[in-house]
Chain A
């Protein structure tokens, strides 16, 4: 059996699957929400956590280095 045989077998069987769709009100709501973001780029909020973590890590690293210098110096 080749992959094409398996794919054909699934394609034939899948025609029997019941049709599933999102209801039109929800679909319109989803489309409207997404349309508002069209071309705007990802929200800046997604950067808040990485920036906070980065600043915290950098601060801790600086503090550690200063402490090391203090102890060794």
Chain B
């Protein structure tokens, strides 16, 4: 098991004491990463803000009960993942009750708020390609690729077996290469051709 860093250990000690400055440090360290994950999973900034608030509310409420060796990143992303799952379920139920089709991603010819942040065609293509990934694949791609987490850690966060994470990552790579089309890096195209 990966041990938490010394800095995180100090933050956790502070959180367990109810120290607001320790909370602020954790918030500063993780807010951007969590928000990016939530925004790319929900594809909505307003929902991502709500879920970000809920994630940190839960951290604040559980602060005194955290174990000394808690890995904060994994703890926070586990909460965020569960919130995304609950939100997606609620969305599906709402769509069903409305007799509507499930919510779809933005059409290709319109820029979503996330895509509007892209500075270049490559960034735009990449953001769209990530959006086209099935949520289960997108999540693994974001946690391993963007967050740099180990597959075993991601497996714990998602409550999956490491083998399932490995398969999802491999499939995400194939899907992403297809979605990227001409913007796909040469190394990826070669990889895809070999399969």
Contacts and interface: CB of A to CB of B under 8 A. Distances in A.
Contacts of A22: 31-32, 35, 48-49, 52
A34 B60 contact: yes
A13 B60 contact: no
A10 B168 CA distance: 13
A20 B169 contact: no
A1 B191 CA distance: 8
Interface stretch (A37-45, A47-55, A56-64, A65-73): A37-45
B185 interface: yes
Task: Please report whether the interface of chain B is mostly helix, strand, loop or mixed according to DSSP.
Answer: helix
Chain A interface residue bracket vs B: 20 to 34
Task: Please report whether the interface of chain A is mostly helix, strand, loop or mixed according to DSSP.
Answer: helix
B59 interface: yes
A30 B60 contact: no
A5 to B, nearest CB: 8
Contacts of A38: 15, 18, 20, 23, 60, 63
Contacts of B191: 1, 5, 9
Interface residues of B, number: 51
B60 A40 contact: yes
A66 to B, nearest CB: 37
Contact of B117 (A10, A14, A19, A42): A19
A30 B170 contact: no
B24 to A, nearest CB: 7
B32 A39 contact: no
Interface of B: 15, 18, 20, 23-24, 27, 31-32, 35-36, 39-40, 48-49, 52-53, 56-57, 59-64, 114, 117-119, 122-123, 126-127, 130, 141-142, 144-146, 148, 151, 165-166, 169-170, 172-173, 176, 185, 187-188, 191
Interface of A: 1, 3, 5-7, 9-14, 16-22, 26-27, 30-31, 33-43
